[in-house]
């Protein structure tokens, strides 16, 4: 694990939003950081987030962590077949959710629960999806954690890695064609940058310069493999963007202010017609890859504690303390959220889990293939006895 | 030809290329969300000229060139569709669709399903298919079975200009992803498999009479290209014309069904005919094993078992890549189709 | 079990995973040009552990992790094969093979043909297939028909540890590209479709008795999983076990053929049986339309038309993406297969 | 058309072969040139090619140009269905063919006839392939111009763009695994860099650092589209390599000495175990894209004459004049080669063309699918009556 070329808080400059890519090539090798280890903010990326907004972000992060932990527990209890968490990465989704506009669109991976929660999705709805129960708005079509929410501008998550990337670029191309003042935000994992889709996305972004933010979440691991397997000889993932002539930033993903500053900058840029931005968010996958994974087979157990960028929740709490939101207040908030999650989970379990309660009908399986069920599916549905 | 109505406007002679262009034109005129793009599809108008004039008329924002990435073409098309557009994407040759296949199969086809209808992907992906132009193994393929196996896709293939236009308009208006296969060998005329004869242009064929305006040929409906009593021939694309020729040279009174939409299939048209004739020949250019003919054969025997008087015959491309020098020995021409008909009659 | 000979060494109880691992081991020991790789295939030994221990034993040069690019995995495998290696590449789930499909279809399958034998591409691409593990639409697919349509590929799918090892050794030694499909639901035991019953481990099954050394199960040869007189069941992979269960619960005296190699197909084994029983049921997990069952059905009716006493029945996955919550209603379990058998008997 | 950041002859530095990618990022934006407009060589990339070697290269270039012209004429006469030329780009193949070793491997596109000729392939064999006649060693399987020659280390050309790129990387990975002192040279067009295969190739090259040279031939056009459509916001194609942390050079592809210097450098680098090099060769497609193309629809007819890097043959002739190989000698050589091509073409036509003489049997079509013909193909071959 390398977090190459760590810059200290406040060191990275903040260019004008109409800056040209060649002028900031160095920023793909640096690291935009605002908060230092004592929770003090530095430099041009500080921004002006108020305590209320910060507490809202903290709320989302607490919610995500409690939600993840609860769902992992449910998986261990055999109540769902699968669970994927985002411990340690919560800042990225929680913060970007507050930056993006009402009509912007997020193209997520399976590790952006904090984005969806940050946009206002009810955890209960997400639990129903995890349990694939009768109240699952996904109607049982997808494995646990592959949420969808057009209401909250969150594309249905694909089980196929990176496929959302060219779609995000296409969505942004459409925005540009229509003249809509909207921006696409696409997330991709470090490992998934190796997929073909990433190249198509960056090539089309480079050619058509639509309003899109390409966010690479470098959480240090794919499944068992270190981020280096995808990064290869390059020093950073932000560097990929340079190859396409796109402005590329590397950002401390566990630093709420840095994430906020960089994403706002990129969004302003996109809205002003200056085109795409590539951002590598450096973070750490604190959880196992999924409930099917055993990380002790490939990394030291205490590695997260040693991670130089720390835990985003701890860091935000420290900063908030400096802003007058006390540790006790934070603890109370955390506890209140845990209770809320526990209560929602009871509600969800009461509706049903993978092996209790009713499930969405097989009828949906037939109905969701085409807009109108064609004759062969009507017949098969009948054969299936429903 | 039956779907023409007055509102479709005056009739013009069109090649299939012109008919496809006209479908784009009509739809781009009617609906600002329709956009067309692909490799060389912009200023150049496509290597087969199917998008010619669109950029001039509708501007670079609505008809444009793309980088050479079929993945990017399909992937961005899906993204545009998610943002309310109606993208019509061109793949230069079907042989080059494979880099975009994942986006078609894993994304476009399943978007509605996986999101429980929360998102849809109404894209049209056009691509020229089939042999007969000395294109060798990379400009001659007929990959329709790779699409018909995929739940969530609509797969269409016209055999003449009138259908091509009406079907493409239906495809653009559909709310499901449509794979629109264009048999390139009949772009300019109804090629009947005799490659030594001069090509008959569409201007000499009634199916080249195409209304200039808006009309639709419905998805999921086959057409009877020739009525007959002795044997049912199930086919599509270029092979419709080759089968007509085979009927002529053999004198067999074949009922030739032009399937037009492969998925969803017009099973009723098929079974009605086979139950009557009791014999069935399936004809396509694609390689035989696991070709779409296999599915047709399976369904016909499931539905018409007790009416069949002889084994169903498949006439298809041999199970090899498409050769170059040996093109006309390889192509399932009128003689092979004729033999297939006679075999079905003997049975 | 018939192919074991003395030289294959002592017998061990193995799961299918262990048998696959053992095949790698034996071949990497015998032939320095054999290399194994894929996503998480190195130190981790693969998400299903099929390559576990190989890196430790043979070093990082011969068993290694790759970036997450199925295109890169297949493309570099072809390149290694062109340079004299015998690459065995793992795709983590068949559902993720699509980005590598172009390299498989356009390159590996046609390399020999297009170069007139000047170059060949003897690669093995392994991938887990099939449902039954609550994998939803992206960890459950059975895309075999997408390979059987492609001239130049060999497509294999074992149903038990003994075959898995012997078939994989044959695949690695083959001079043609081989698609090696592994039915993940039977990795650990012969799952018969009753998901509520506890899994029987391979250690309790004679087909889990696997020689530790080198032996081959030949390409292109089917096996009779059960002899019977009333109906022929054509199937492969997990469904072999489900069909056995269906025969049991119905009491139908079915002849169950485990195809093992889908392309090239052991047509003789099929026709010999169907001509005798006069009835045929085809069973697979893949979606029905244009699934491999269509090809089987077409060939059976072409070859055995006059022996057939009833329509050939297909039992297959419904033509929808694979659902998550509804997995066990969707899965073509023993009851559906049993119904298919009874239907074929009625006819 | 832009040939961005033209450097003058001799200006570009020549780093040590063990240089690290970050130290030469600027070279992806420059242009290695040796020969000036007067045919005088300059700077550290001059090398030590003797007159004999240069005349050999000129011979290959003359041969290629005459061959292309003759085949295009044959196409116009209806003797083949298709023709693709490389007018203006001959230097790249002709020179690299002399740099690569006997056991190295070339992964070409359809525009590297000069490489194959430079390696010693008989033009007659290539003509037989173009005509698909009975003597075609390709046995009629491929369209005109898609040659194969394991004998000369030249992979069977694919009709699918860019697919050879990851194969080249895999070939080089095998060389590294085996410890062979060999190098793979992979060519790809500017337009084709947009394909997925390119990303896979560069990613795997970056991760495994095998001995491979990735040569991007920027001839200013794909089919009808300017190189800018694939390049997008980037300034150069060499820049792509930077994103993967690979040493990347941009080279005057019409300058024989520059091509020789850069390729030798990259090959030495690879052999010394320092890994891959990306080279963008800047050149101009002087011919139509193919016989199916009409370039007057998208570019001015005299554009080639205005191309700032000139015509590689003229430039080499000028340089050779300065080295004592006179214009008259060059003319004589050219004429002799034209006559040779004319004679070979007569020979080939006598064997057969697309519509005269015998063709390779359909039997091959069945025999070439698998090592051993499986039962279904034996049967189909019999049905086909052969
Ligand atoms: C096309 C494809 N290939 C492989 C997989 C299997 N897979 C699921 S997650 C994963 C690792 C992804 O790593 P990364 O992109 O770093 O994301 P992270 O899990 O770290 O958030 C893999 C290989 C997949 N889902 N899709
Ligand atoms: C996968 C694929 N897509 C599209 C094509 C059609 N095609 C053939 S050549 C070409 C242009 C290639 O341009 P470039 O890479 O710059 O090479 P050049 O012809 O200039 O040498 C296109 C689009 C193809 N052969 N393969
Ligand atoms: Mg990761
Ligand atoms: Mg080019």
Q: Is A359 on the interface with C (CB under 8 A)?
A: yes
Assess D204–C contact: CB distance below 8 Å, yes or no.
Answer: yes
CA distance, residue B80 to nearest chain C CA (Å): 21
Q: Is the CB of D280 under 6 A from ligand 2?
A: no
Phi, psi of A160, deg, nearest 5: -90, 125
Q: What is the pLDDT of residue A1?
A: 37
Closest Cβ–Cβ partner in D172, D197, D375 for C71: D197
- Closest ligand to the CA of A109: 1
Average pLDDT over residues A160-189: 98
Residues 6 or more apart whose CB falls under 8 angstroms from that of D182 comprise: D101, D103, D104, D105, D175, D211
* Interface contact flag, C326 A364, Cβ < 8 Å: yes
The pLDDT assigned to C290 comes to 98
Instruction: Write down the pLDDT at residue D1.
Output: 38
Separation in Å, CA D221 to CA A202, B146, C291, D187, D288: 20, 32, 42, 15, 10
Q: Any alpha helices (H) in chain A, and if so which ranges? A: 51-76, 90-99, 113-119, 123-131, 164-178, 196-208, 228-231, 238-243, 256-271, 303-306, 312-322, 327-351, 362-367, 375-383
Burial degree of D179 (CB within 10 A; 0-12, 13-18, 19+) = exposed
Q: Is the CB of B15 under 6 A from ligand 2?
A: no
Q: Does A173 touch chain B (CB under 8 A)?
A: yes
The Cβ of residue A314 has, within 10 Å, a number of other Cβ atoms equal to: 11
| Contact in structure between A253 and A259 (CB atoms under 8 Å) | yes
Contacts of A162 (CB under 8 A, 6+ apart): A188, A192, A193, A195, A196, A197, A198, A201, C68
D296 touches chain C (CB under 8 A): no
Nearest CA in chain D to A241: D243
B11-211 and B223-346: same fold?
yes
Q: Between chain C and chain D, how many beta carbons pairs sit less than 8 Å apart?
A: 152
Q: Is C241 a catalytic residue?
A: no
Mean pLDDT (whole number) for A350-355: 95
Task: Kindly list the domain boundaries of chain C, sorted by start residue.
Answer: 11-211, 223-346
Q: How far is A196 from chain B (nearest CA, A)?
A: 8
The candidate with the shortest Cα–Cα distance to C58, out of C92, C19, C21, is C21
Helix (H, G, I), strand (E, B) or coil at C72: helix
Residue A335 phi/psi, 5° resolution? -65, -40
Instruction: Specify burial of residue A331 (Cβ count, 10 A radius: 0-12, 13-18, 19+).
Output: exposed
Length of chain B: 347
ipTM of the complex: 0.98
Radius of gyration, CA atoms only, chain A: 21
Q: Which of C60, C63, C79 to mutate to test the interface with D (most CBs of D within 10 A)?
A: C79
A194 touches chain B (CB under 8 A): no
Query: Could you report the per-residue pLDDT of A51-105, keeping only the tens digit for each?
Result: 999 999 999 999 999 999 999 999 999 999 999 999 999 999 999 999 999 999 9
Q: Which of D194, D198, D386 to mutate to test the interface with B (most CBs of B within 10 A)?
A: D194
* Gap from A179 CA to chain B (nearest CA, Å): 11
pLDDT in tens, C15-25: 999 999 999 99
Question: Would you give per-residue pLDDT tens digits along chain B (347 residues)?
Answer: 444 556 899 999 999 999 999 999 999 999 999 999 999 999 999 999 999 999 999 999 999 999 999 999 999 999 999 999 999 999 999 999 999 999 999 999 999 999 999 999 999 999 999 999 999 999 999 999 999 999 999 999 999 999 999 999 999 999 999 999 999 999 999 999 999 999 999 999 999 999 999 999 999 999 999 999 999 999 999 999 999 999 999 999 999 999 999 999 999 999 999 999 999 999 999 999 999 999 999 999 999 999 999 999 999 999 999 999 999 999 999 999 999 999 999 97
For residues B309 and B279, the answer to whether their CB atoms sit within 8 Å is yes
Q: 0.95 cut: is pTM over it?
A: yes
- Predicted confidence at residue B76, as pLDDT, reads 99
Q: Does any CB of chain D come closer than 8 Å to the CB of residue B119?
A: no
CATH of domain C11-211: 3.40.50.970
Rounded distance between C-alpha atoms, residue B19 and residue D34, angstroms: 54
Residue A68 contacts residue A113 (beta carbons within 8 Å): yes
SS3 C282: strand
At C178-236, the pLDDT tens digits run 999 999 999 999 999 999 999 999 999 999 999 999 999 999 999 999 999 999 999 99
Q: Is pLDDT of C1 > 70?
A: no
The mean pLDDT of chain A is 97
CB distance C316 to C291 below 8 Å: yes
CB contact under 8 A, D156 and C67: no
| Nearest CA distance, D166 vs chain A (angstrom) | 12
What is the tally of helices (H) and strands (E) in chain B? 12, 14
Q: Do A232 and D21 touch (CB under 8 A)?
A: no
Mean pLDDT of C238-258: 98
Angle at alpha carbon of residue D180, lines to D174 and D186, rounded to 5°: 60
Cβ separation A160–B102 shorter than 8 A: yes
Q: Phi first, then psi: give them for residue C154, nearest 5 degrees.
A: -105, 135
So what CATH class is C223-346?
A: alpha beta
Q: How far is the CA of A162 from the centre of ligand 1 (A)?
A: 9
Q: Chains that contact D by 3+ CB pairs under 8 Å?
A: A, B, C
Predicted confidence band of residue A3 (pLDDT cuts 50, 70, 90): low
Which of C68, C138, C318 is opposite residue A366, by nearest beta carbon? C318
Q: Is B297 on the interface with C (CB under 8 A)?
A: yes
Touching B: A residues 298-327, CB under 8 Å: none
| C295 min Cα distance to partner chain B (Å) | 5
Examine the pLDDT at A2 and tell me if it is beyond 90.
Answer: no
B90 CB less than 6 Å from ligand 2? no
Q: What subunits touch chain C, counting only 3 or more CB pairs under 8 A?
A: A, B, D
Question: Which of C24, C25, C139, C241 is labelled catalytic?
Answer: C139
User: pLDDT tier at C5 (50, 70, 90 boundaries)?
Assistant: low
Q: What mean pLDDT do residues C64-91 have?
A: 98
Residue D4: predicted pLDDT: 47
> C-alpha D122: how far from its chain's center?
17
Contact A129, A359 (CB under 8 A): no
Say how far apart CA C180 and CA C165 lie, in whole Å: 11
The answer to whether A228 touches A190, Cβ cutoff 8 Å, is no
Please report the pLDDT score of residue A4 as a whole number.
47
Q: Residue by residue, what is the 3-state secondary structure of chain D? A: CCCCCCCCCCCCCCCCCCCCHHHHHHHHCCCECCECCCCCECCCCCCCCCHHHHHHHHHHHHHHHHHHHHHHHHHHCCCCCCCCCCCCCHHHHHHHHHHCCCCCEEECCCCCHHHHHHHCCCHHHHHHHHHCCCCCCCCCCCCCCCCCECCCCECCCCCCCCCHHHHHHHHHHHHHHHCCCCCEEEEEECHHHHCHHHHHHHHHHHHHCCCEEEEEEECCECCCCECHHHHCCCCCCHHHHHHCCCCEEEEECCCHHHHHHHHHHHHHHHHCCCCCEEEEEECCCCCCCCCCCCHHHCCCCCHHHHCCCCCHHHHHHHHHHHCCCCHHHHHHHHHHHHHHHHHHHHHHHHHEECCEECCCCHHHHHHCCCCCCCHHHHHHHHHCCC
Q: What is the pLDDT along chain D (386 residues), one digit of tens a residue?
A: 355 457 899 999 999 999 999 999 999 999 999 999 999 999 999 999 999 999 999 999 999 999 999 999 999 999 999 999 999 999 999 999 999 999 999 999 999 999 999 999 999 999 999 999 999 999 999 999 999 999 999 999 999 999 999 999 999 999 999 999 999 999 999 999 999 999 999 999 999 999 999 999 999 999 999 999 999 999 999 999 999 999 999 999 999 999 999 999 999 999 999 999 999 999 999 999 999 999 999 999 999 999 999 999 999 999 999 999 999 999 999 999 999 999 999 999 999 999 899 999 999 999 999 999 999 999 999 999 99
Say if ligand 2 is within 6 A of residue B39 CB.
Answer: yes
Contacts of B65 in chain D (CB under 8 A): 224-225, 229
Contact: D206, A243; criterion CB under 8 Å: no
Does residue A351 sit in helix, strand or coil? helix
Residues in contact with C132: Cβ distance below 8 Å, sequence separation at least 6, in sequence order: C140, C184, C185, C191, C195, C238, C327, C331
Per-residue pLDDT tens digits for C101-141:
999 999 999 999 999 999 999 999 999 999 999 999 999 99
Q: Where in chain D is the domain with CATH 3.40.50.970?
A: 3-355
Q: Ligand 3 centroid to C44 CA: how many Å?
A: 16
Say whether C159 sits in a helix, a strand or coil.
Answer: coil
Q: Could you say which DSSP state residue C184 is in?
A: G
Give me the sheet containing C63-65, strands edge to edge. C63-65, C34-38, C86-90, C124-129, C178-183, C154-156, C261-263
Nearest CA in chain B to A143: B114
A163 CA closest ligand 1 atom index: 1
Q: Is the minimum CB–CB distance between D269 and chain A shorter than 8 Å? A: no
pLDDT-derived band at C335 (thresholds 50, 70, 90) equals very high
- According to DSSP, the β-strands at B124-129 and A277-282 are unpaired
Contact D159, B139 (CB under 8 A): yes
Q: D3-355 adopts what CATH topology?
A: Rossmann fold (3.40.50)
End-to-end CA distance of chain D: 53
Determine the Cα–Cα distance for residues A176 and A170; give it in Å rounded to an integer.
10
Residue A191 to residue C137, Cβ atoms within 8 A? no
Q: Neighbouring chains of A at 3+ CB pairs within 8 Å? A: B, C, D
Pocket of ligand 1 (CB under 6 A): A 109, 111, 159-161, 189-192, 219, 221-223, 285, 289; C 39, 68, 92, 96
């Amino acid at each position: 694990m390398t977090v190459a070329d760590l810059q200290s808080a406040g060191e990275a400059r903040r260019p004008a939003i109409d800056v040209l890519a060649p002028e900031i090539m160095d920023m793909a090798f640096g690291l935009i950081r605002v908060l230092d280890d004592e929770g003090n903010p530095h430099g041009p990326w500080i921004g002006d987030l108020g305590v209320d907004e910060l507490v809202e972000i903290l709320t989302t992060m607490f919610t995500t962590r409690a939600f993840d932990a609860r769902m992992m527990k449910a998986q261990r209890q055999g109540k769902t077949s699968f669970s994927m968490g985002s411990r340690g990465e919560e800042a990225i989704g929680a913060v970007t959710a507050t930056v993006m506009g009402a009509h912007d669109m997020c193209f997520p991976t399976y590790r952006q629960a904090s984005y969806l929660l940050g946009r206002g999705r009810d955890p209960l709805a997400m639990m129903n999806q995890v349990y694939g129960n009768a109240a699952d708005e996904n109607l049982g079509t997808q494995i646990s954690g592959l949420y969808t929410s057009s209401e909250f501008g969150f594309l249905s998550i694909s089980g196929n890695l990176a496929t959302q990337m060219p779609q995000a670029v296409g969505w942004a191309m459409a925005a540009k064609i229509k003249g809509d003042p909207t921006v696409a935000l696409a997330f991709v994992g470090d490992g998934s940058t190796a997929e073909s889709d990433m190249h198509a996305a960056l090539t089309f972004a480079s050619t058509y310069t639509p309003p899109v933010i390409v966010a690479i979440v470098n959480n240090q691991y794919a499944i068992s493999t270190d981020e280096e397997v995808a990064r290869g000889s390059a020093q950073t993932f932000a560097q990929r963007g340079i190859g396409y002539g796109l402005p590329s930033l590397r950002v401390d993903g566990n630093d709420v202010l840095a994430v906020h500053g960089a994403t706002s900058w990129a969004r302003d840029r996109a809205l002003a017609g200056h085109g795409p931005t590539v951002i590598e968010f450096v973070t750490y996958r604190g959880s196992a890859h999924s409930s099917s994974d055993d990380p002790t087979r490939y990394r030291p157990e205490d590695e997260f504690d040693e991670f130089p960028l720390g835990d985003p929740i701890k860091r935000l709490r420290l900063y908030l303390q400096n802003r007058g939101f006390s540790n006790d207040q934070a603890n109370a908030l955390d506890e209140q959220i845990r209770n809320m999650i526990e209560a929602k989970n009871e509600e969800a379990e009461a509706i049903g889990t993978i092996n209790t309660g009713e499930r969405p009908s097989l009828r949906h399986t037939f109905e969701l293939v085409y807009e109108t069920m064609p004759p062969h599916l009507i017949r098969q549905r009948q054969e299936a006895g429903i | 030809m039956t779907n023409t109505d007055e509102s479709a406007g005056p009739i013009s002679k069109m090649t299939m290329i012109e008919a496809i262009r006209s479908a784009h034109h009509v739809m781009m005129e009617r609906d600002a969300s329709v956009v067309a793009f692909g490799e060389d599809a912009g200023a150049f108008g496509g290597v087969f000229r199917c998008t010619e004039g669109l950029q001039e008329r509708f501007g670079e924002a609505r008809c444009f060139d793309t980088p050479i990435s079929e993945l990017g073409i399909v992937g961005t098309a899906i993204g545009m569709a998610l943002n309310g557009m109606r993208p019509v994407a061109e793949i230069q040759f079907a042989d080059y669709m494979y880099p975009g296949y994942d986006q078609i199969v894993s994304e476009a086809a399943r978007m509605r399903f996986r999101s429980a209808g929360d998102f849809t992907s109404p894209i049209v992906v056009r691509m020229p298919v089939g042999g007969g132009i000395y294109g060798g193994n990379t400009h001659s393929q007929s990959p329709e079975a790779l699409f018909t196996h995929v739940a969530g896709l609509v797969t269409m293939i016209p055999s003449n200009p009138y259908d091509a236009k009406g079907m493409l308009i239906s495809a653009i208006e559909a709310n499901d992803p449509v794979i629109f296969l264009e048999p390139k060998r009949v772009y300019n005329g109804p090629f009947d498999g005799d490659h030594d004869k001069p090509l008959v242009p569409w201007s000499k064929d009634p199916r080249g009479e195409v209304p200039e305006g808006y009309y639709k040929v419905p998805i999921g409906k086959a057409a009877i290209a020739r009525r007959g009593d002795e044997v049912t021939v199930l086919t599509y694309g270029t092979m419709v014309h080759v089968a007509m020729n085979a009927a002529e040279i053999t004198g067999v009174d074949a009922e030739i069904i032009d399937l037009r939409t492969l998925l969803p299939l017009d099973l009723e048209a098929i079974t009605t005919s086979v139950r009557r004739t009791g014999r069935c020949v399936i004809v396509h250019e694609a390689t035989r094993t696991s070709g779409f003919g296999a599915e047709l054969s399976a369904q016909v025997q499931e539905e018409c078992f007790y009416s069949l008087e002889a084994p169903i015959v498949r006439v298809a491309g041999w199970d090899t890549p498409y050769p170059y020098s040996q093109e006309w020995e390889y192509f399932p021409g009128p003689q092979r189709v004729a033999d297939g008909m006679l075999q079905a009659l003997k049975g």
